Amino acid sequence: MTGGAGMYDFIIIGGGIVGLSTAYALVQKDPLAKVMIIEKEQQLSLHQTGRNSGVIHSGVYYKPGSLKARMAVKGRTSMVNFCRTHHVAHDVCGKVLVATDREEVARMDALYHRVQQNGVTVSKLSRDELSGFEPHVNGIAALHVPQTGIVDYKKVSEKLADLLRDSGVEFSFGSPVVNIEEGSDLVTIETEEKTFRARFFINCAGLQSDRIVKMTGIHTELQIVPFRGEYYKLTEEKSHFVNSLIYPVPNPDFPFLGVHLTKMMDGSVHAGPNAVLSLKREGYKKTDIQWRDMLEVLTFSGFWKMAGQNMKEGTKEMVRSFNKRHFLKSLQRLVPDIMEQDIVTADAGVRAQAMLRNGRLVDDFYMIPGKRSIHVCNAPSPAATASLEIGKEIAERIPERTSVIVS
């Protein structure tokens, strides 16, 4: 450890959209607060924030009363307002949730009622009305969600970072946090080269967030299990098959599964993502392995319990990953005109999914309080949509200043 000590009111570990939004909320609340963001990479948002579907979700799927439901609904509005105010390109293009058989119509009707509880307005579409929105879609009925939009979350992050710099927030790039001492008056955070001190810190380390928790000595049985989401994209000539966003009706047992077609801000159309175990937390290729990451998953009892309970769905996802034709079949259920030559491999992302030792996936957003810290330990989709609200929530949860240590 070399380098001098810096002293801050707040240190945020992780320069993804949740970390940036948290810093934004903190300086909105107290413009004089001295804030540092520590990021292990040389750039912001290289992981989940820069590798997702770019959807501004509306809050349709989530359990009424959950943090996800509350924050996605409010977060959608905050995100759209932020983009409008700060001129970040976005498009509130709406989406359709398509039922292709009677069973899916029944699920769609159940979802319609849940959606009302979350305060989201949707309308039911007949086959003909659906064709008006998406002429290439094969569906017998659909829900239309007009509030859903798209944005490039990397661009949102860049704008947030500009605003933060203007407010005096500092950044330390290329600085992986390797050790934390959480005392009763102050926190000491060591990176490979520097030491920082703060009154309070917030762990927004995404795929590494459980490791940061463990550095503080907090006992948790929760572990991050990385699930890669792989995408194809439509060739340019076939991008006109999709006008906005086309989703299947979700299976309530596996709401995060089900490949969809998403128009991106650059005009391309992405198809995916699936969900397969990644043997490297930040592994974006099928062949990526990191021994520590792999061993941690394979020796985690929760993983085997989850795998045993969900063998059928897990196998389907693996087959879809290695066999383009199977992936294509899922897409053709929605848009039958798509042929094998119409899709090409696109960049993948990896989800940080928290899992418990009993094999249960943590469904809601989840934060662990420490003595002088808050740890964001489960912030999967729709956390990019909800990020500005997550930031506000964290700023509210931080105990009021008891002593001023920043000179």
CB of 403 to ligand FAD, least distance (A): 26
Closest contact distance (angstroms) between CB of 231 and ligand FAD is 8
Start-to-end C-alpha separation, the chain: 24
Ramachandran region of residue 3, left (φ > 0), alpha (ψ -120 to 50) or beta?
Answer: left
Q: Which is nearer to ligand FAD, 67 or 204 (CB)?
A: 204
**Min separation Cβ 163 and ligand FAD, Å:** 16
Question: What does the H/E/C string look like for the chain?
Answer: CCCCEEEEEEEEECCCHHHHHHHHHHHHHCCCCCEEEECCCCCCCCCHHHCCCCEECCCCCCCCCCHHHHHHHHHHHHHHHHHHHCCCCEECCCEEEEECCHHHHHHHHHHHHHHHHCCCCCEEEEHHHHHHHCCCCCCCEEEEECCCEEECHHHHHHHHHHHHHHCCCEEECCCCEEEEEECCCCEEEEECCCEEEEEEEEECCHHHHHHHHHHCCCCCCCEEEEEEEEEEEECHHHHHHCCCEEEECCCCCCCCCCCEEEECCCCCEEEECCCEECECCCCCCCCCECHHHHHHHHCCHHHHHHHHHCHHHHHHHHHHHHCHHHHHHHHHHHCCCCCHHHEEEEEEEEEEEEECCCCCECCCCEEEECCCEEEEEECCCCHHHHHHHHHHHHHHHCCCCCCCCCC
- 75/141 with CB nearer ligand FAD: 75
Compute CA distances 39 → 12, 14, 48, 265, 330, whole Å.
9, 5, 14, 26, 38
- CB of 144 or CB of 270, closer to ligand FAD: 270
- Contact of 212 with 354, CB cutoff 8 Å: no
Decide whether 55 or 141 has the Cβ nearer to ligand FAD.
55
Phi, psi of 152, rounded to the nearest 5 degrees: -95, 110
Q: Which is nearer to ligand FAD, 139 or 349 (CB)?
A: 349
CB 217 within 8 Å of CB 373: no
Token pair listed for 189: 């955070």
CB of 31 to ligand FAD, least distance (A): 23
Q: Which residue lies nearer to ligand FAD by CB, 138 or 195?
A: 195
C-beta of residue 6 within 8 angstroms of C-beta of residue 36: yes
Residue whose entry in the numeric block shows the structure tokens 């349709």: 60
Shortest reach from residue 179's CB to ligand FAD, in Å: 10
Q: How far is the CB of 290 from ligand FAD (least distance, A)?
A: 14
Nearer to ligand FAD, 51 or 107 (CB): 51
Nearest residue to ligand FAD on Cβ basis: 16
At closest approach, how far in Å is the CB of 6 from ligand FAD? 15
Nearer to ligand FAD, 16 or 139 (CB): 16
Q: In the complex, what is the shortest distance from the CB of residue 371 to ligand FAD, in angstroms, rounded to a whole number?
A: 19
Residue (36 or 379) nearer to ligand FAD, CB: 379
Which CB, 177 or 261, lies closer to ligand FAD?
A: 177
The smaller minimum CB distance to ligand FAD, of residues 52 and 100, is found at 52
- Tell me the closest approach of the beta carbon of residue 29 to ligand FAD, in angstroms: 19
Q: Shortest Cβ distance from residue 311 to ligand FAD (Å)?
A: 23
Could you tell me the smallest distance in angstroms from the CB atom of residue 205 to ligand FAD? Answer: 4
Please give the residue ranges that form the binding site for ligand FAD (CB under 6 A). 13-19, 38-41, 45-49, 51-55, 57, 176-177, 204-208, 229, 273, 349-351, 379-385
